[in-house]
């Protein structure tokens, strides 16, 4: 073994030790992650979220990811074995391998900037033809997009008749508020909750989806789980609602 290969082996081993040490405080069985199927004493904090149990220590899934995964497995035909073409916008690392394994060549990831994505794509000008996809999943992206209504219309256009989309956004206002003149990052952080957001959504988010042509069904955590179940699954806080949009 050369000095270089020995060094690389040592670095890899040391990374493994560090990862294990970081997980030691979370060893236990009080929580279960629906995405990776692993247990922990609790979920861990993430710097961008007030929820003290935001993130799975094993796979990195957030509360909204865990809720989405439970929902699509229980209430959709995504994994019924029939061929489907799915567009996954801004693909989350915790889902990519699972989706690709189950959906095969029909699984398409897209993002404007993320190099992990298969396709570089602006969701306000999607390059795919009409009725290209059976399923679309886009989570916490539209609040970053200046013309979100145009993006919604594009999603509707490329979805097949009878297809469905889950388009998730944070809803934390009484009514949707936006002001294109606000470009200062500090002011956006104060008003919209992030320097990268261009609006705060309210319950009238559904109206925008319907204006694009979708039929929308909302599902809340309480519609599927008790308070104790939601706590164990780590979706009691920060998961939001599911917006299931059909064409």
Encode pLDDT of 160-212 as tens digits. 999 999 999 999 999 999 999 999 999 998 999 889 999 999 999 999 999 99
Q: What is the pLDDT of residue 25?
A: 65
- Residue whose entry in the numeric block shows the structure tokens 């104790």: 228
CA distances from 88 to 79, 92, 116 (A): 15, 9, 12
pLDDT single digits (tens) 13-43: 445 445 544 555 656 678 899 999 999 888 8
- Condensed to tens digits (0 to 9), the pLDDT of residues 61-82 reads 999 999 999 999 999 999 999 9
In a domain, 48, yes or no: no
What distance in Å separates the CA atoms of residue 71 and residue 190, rounded to the nearest whole number? 32
Rg (CA), the chain: 20
Handedness of CA 207, 134, 156, 117 (dihedral sign): positive
In a domain, 8, yes or no: no
Pick the more confident residue, 127 or 53.
127
Does residue 111 sit within a domain? yes
CATH number for 88? 3.40.50.150
Q: Are 239 and 39 in contact (CB under 8 A)?
A: no
Does some domain include residue 29?
A: no
| pTM (global) more than 0.85 | yes
**Residue 39 falls within a domain, yes or no?**
no
- Span 136-150, mean pLDDT? 97
Q: Is residue 226 part of a domain?
A: no
In a domain? residue 170? yes
Cα-Cα-Cα-Cα dihedral sign, residues 77, 80, 85, 88: positive
Q: Is residue 136 part of a domain?
A: yes
Block residue for tokens 């602006």: 122
> In total, how many domains does the chain have?
1
- SS3 of 93, please? helix
Domain that holds residue 209: 76-213
């Amino acid at each position: 073994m050369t000095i270089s290969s020995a060094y690389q082996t040592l670095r890899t081993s040391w990374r493994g030790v560090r990862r294990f040490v970081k997980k030691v405080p979370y060893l236990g069985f009080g929580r279960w992650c629906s995405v990776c199927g692993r247990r922990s004493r609790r979920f861990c904090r993430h710097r961008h979220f007030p929820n003290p149990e935001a993130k799975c220590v094993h796979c990195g899934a957030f509360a909204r990811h865990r809720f989405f995964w439970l929902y699509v497995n229980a209430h959709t035909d995504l994994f019924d074995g029939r061929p489907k073409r799915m567009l996954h916008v801004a693909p989350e690392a915790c889902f990519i391998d699972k989706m690709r394994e189950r959906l095969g060549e029909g699984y398409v990831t897209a993002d404007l900037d993320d190099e992990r994505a298969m396709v570089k794509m602006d969701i306000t000008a999607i390059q795919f033809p009409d009725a290209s996809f059976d399923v679309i999943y886009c989570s916490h992206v539209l609040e970053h997009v200046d013309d979100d209504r145009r993006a919604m219309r594009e999603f509707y256009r490329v979805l097949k008749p009878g297809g469905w989309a889950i388009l998730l956004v944070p809803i934390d206002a009484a009514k949707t508020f936006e002001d294109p003149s606000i470009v200062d990052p500090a002011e956006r952080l104060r008003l919209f909750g992030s320097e990268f957001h261009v609006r705060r959504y309210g319950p009238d988010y559904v109206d925008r989806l319907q204006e694009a042509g979708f039929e929308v069904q909302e599902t809340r955590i309480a519609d599927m789980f008790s308070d104790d179940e939601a706590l164990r699954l780590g979706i009691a806080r920060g998961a939001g609602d599911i917006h299931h949009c059909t064409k």
